[in-house]
Every structure is written in C-alpha cells, then in structure tokens.
Amino acid sequence: MRRLNRKKTLNLMKELDAFPKVPESYLETSASGGTVSLIAFTTIAFLTIMEFTVYRDTWMKYEYEVDKDFTSKLRINIDITVAMRCQYVGADVLDLAETMVSSADGLIYEPVVFDLSPQQKEWQRMLQLIQSRLQEEHSLQDVIFKSAFKGASTALPPREDNSLQSPDACRIHGHLYVNKVAGNFHITVGKAIPHPRGHAHLAALVSHESYNFSHRIDHLSFGELIPGIINPLDGTEKIASDHNQMFQYFITVVPTKLHTYKISAETHQFSVTERERVINHAAGSHGVSGIFMKYDISSLMVTVTEEHMPFWQFLVRLCGIVGGIFSTTGILHGFGRFVAEVIFCRFRLGSYRSTSVPLPDGHTSNHLPLITDNSTH
C-alpha cells in the first residue's frame, strides 16, 4: 500500500514537471547554434561581472527636512593666516542677536612666515586642483563623503625647511561656539573690545602702512570636525593690491547629517560667494579694511545616507540577465535560420529556370517538360 502511494505521488510530481526532458537522440545541433551559444555565454559572463561590480558599489541618498534644532551651539573651525603681525589684528564674531564672541574663547594667535615652503606650496596646489574639479564635477563630493576619516589629512603640513626668516604673519586657528543665527566672523585691524552698542577695534595705534590683509584660508568649516572632508574655502589664497582692502565671503550654511558605513556624524556643508574691493572714501567706496565672513544658517537640514543594493535585488537582476540573453539569442537565432532558409530556397528554385521548347508550328513553349514514367526508362 505504501509503495502504491509512493508511486502515485511520483507520477503526480512528473505531471507537474514544468521542465520536460527531451532525449538527446531527438536533439539537432549545428555550427550556427554553437556560435550563438558561445556568444551568449560570453555576454552572460561579461554582464554578470559588471552586475557584481554594481552590487559592490554604494551610492549616497539625499533627504531634506526642516531643521528644528535652534537651541544648540554652532561650532566654527578656523585656520587662517593673515600677512600682518599678531599684535596688529583681532578676530571675533558678532551675530544678529548682538552677541559677541571674542577670539579669546577658543582661537590661538601664532606668529608665522606667510610664504609657504616648497612642500606646503605643493600641498596648496593639489588642494586648489581638487577644489576646481569639485566645482566642475559635483558627483565627486559623494566620493569624499565615502572616504571621510580614511582619506588623507587636509591640514597644512608643517614646514620642512626650518626657515630662519622672522615671522611676518599671524596664523589664527582654533574653534568658536556661536548661536545658530546669522552672524559675521571678521578679522580686522586692532584687538576687539566690548561696547554697549556692539563692539569696536583699537585701530588707532596701528600705522596705516602696516595694513596688509593678504591671507590664506587653510581650513574653514562648521560643525563637527571630520578629517578627510574638503570644504569650499580650504586652500584659498588672496593677495591684497592695496593697504585699504576689504575681502568679503557670503556663506550659506546647511546642517548635514552624514551616515555612511564608516562614520555617523553631524556636520555642516556650505556654499560661498566672494567679493573684494578697495576702500576709498573719496570715490564712494566706504567700509572697513579686513576679512569679513558673513554666514547665514539654512532652515533646511540634509541627511546624507550611504546605501547598498540588497542581495535579493542583485539575484533578481542576475536572473533577468541570464534569462533575457538566452531568450533573446534564441529568438535571433531562429529568425536568422528562417531568413537563411528563405534565401537558400529562392536560390534553389532559381536553378530550375524555364526552357524554351520549339513546337512544329514554329511557336515556342516556356513550360517545363513533364516527367513521365516512360522518360525514366
């Protein structure tokens, strides 16, 4: 009884077989079929390798939402070298809420030589080249996000020539914490002093001939400091053509949450517009000589997430490649054989062309002669 049930079950499974087997003696092979099969297998192998490369790659997904965090502080990371002595310049931040943040809260004034050493010049040249490529190809920013914390350091390397030249510039570096409102970070003549209506700088004690706001921005960023991230102003160098010159940078800061397979951090991206002009009150160009970075905080927050193709999607795409190529090559091979047979049949019919047979009355007959049984003897 058990054997009978097993036999019925086996017969039922055979009836459900969607892949019936054909005996090899019924199969017909051909050279054209072998050629098409070889092409199909080669194409499948090539596309499979390409699909696996796509599966291993990742991409960045951008999502936008309203930034509801208004109470936290914004960190500004600064590393700027000004071609003036440290006792002649002062840096501070003044925001729209009339809140002043002095440089003493986190900035360091370090006397240095303004001219770079050969190794530092090479570093600056490479950084400026990267900046120009980023402006032309925005997709490179995704590569920088992926390589954060594992890429090369973007900090200016130390001098290797041990220059004996006396310091003629001031490197202002460090970080400040400010309110998340629009503000103005500036470097101008004289140290900043608090004032009931804002603030002022002690510029009267500095000679006008000492003014030189040629500067180099080695690093400027907002938010958490992430090694490997290149910011828009990194590597910027400006040379003043006049003692009384103003350099302005209008910056729009966008809060950014970065989530990759390597890191998860909260930082800020920013875009910048530059402007510079000579201060000449007689010509109507008013203002104060110095470096002014006016920043504004965007109300939108960007979430950048690194994504990867799911394994099931990779299998579905791979099955589509294999099945599609087999089906397509089978159809093309069948169509090619049909066209070849039609052409060859036409050639064969053309070999049996009609012949002219003379008749007794002088006419001709174009019909083929009939083949009778007697004609075969």
Does 237 map to a domain? Answer: yes
pLDDT (tens digit per residue) in 35-66: 877 888 888 888 889 888 888 888 788 888 88
Say yes or no: 41 and 107 in one domain: no
Say yes or no: 124 and 198 in one domain: yes
Say yes or no: 196 and 91 in one domain: yes
**In the chain, which residues have pLDDT < 70?**
1-4, 13, 15-30, 32, 103-104, 138-154, 161-163, 194-198, 203-204, 346-377
Say yes or no: 47 and 99 in one domain: no
Say yes or no: 80 and 49 in one domain: no
pLDDT (tens digit per residue) in 91-116: 888 888 777 777 667 889 999 988 88
Domain end among 236, 266, 294: 294
> Rounded to an integer, what distance in angstroms lies between the CA atom of residue 279 and that of residue 243?
9
| Number of domain units in the chain | 2
Say yes or no: 90 and 177 in one domain: yes
Does 214 map to a domain? Answer: yes
Say yes or no: 319 and 170 in one domain: no
Does 113 map to a domain? Answer: yes
Predicted local distance difference test score (pLDDT) of residue 375: 44
Predicted local distance difference test score (pLDDT) of residue 293: 93
pLDDT (tens digit per residue) in 326-352: 888 888 877 877 777 778 776 666 555
Say yes or no: 136 and 193 in one domain: yes
Does 36 map to a domain? Answer: yes
Query: In the chain, at which residue ranges do the beta strands (DSSP E only) sit?
Result: 58-66, 73-82, 89-95, 100-102, 107-112, 169-179, 183-189, 192-195, 198-201, 215-223, 236-238, 245-259, 264-278, 290-297, 300-308, 357-358, 364-365
Does 18 map to a domain? Answer: no
Say yes or no: 109 and 220 in one domain: yes
Owning domain of residue 109 = 71-244+287-294
Say yes or no: 129 and 41 in one domain: no
Say yes or no: 223 and 77 in one domain: yes
Does 166 map to a domain? Answer: yes
Predicted local distance difference test score (pLDDT) of residue 211: 87
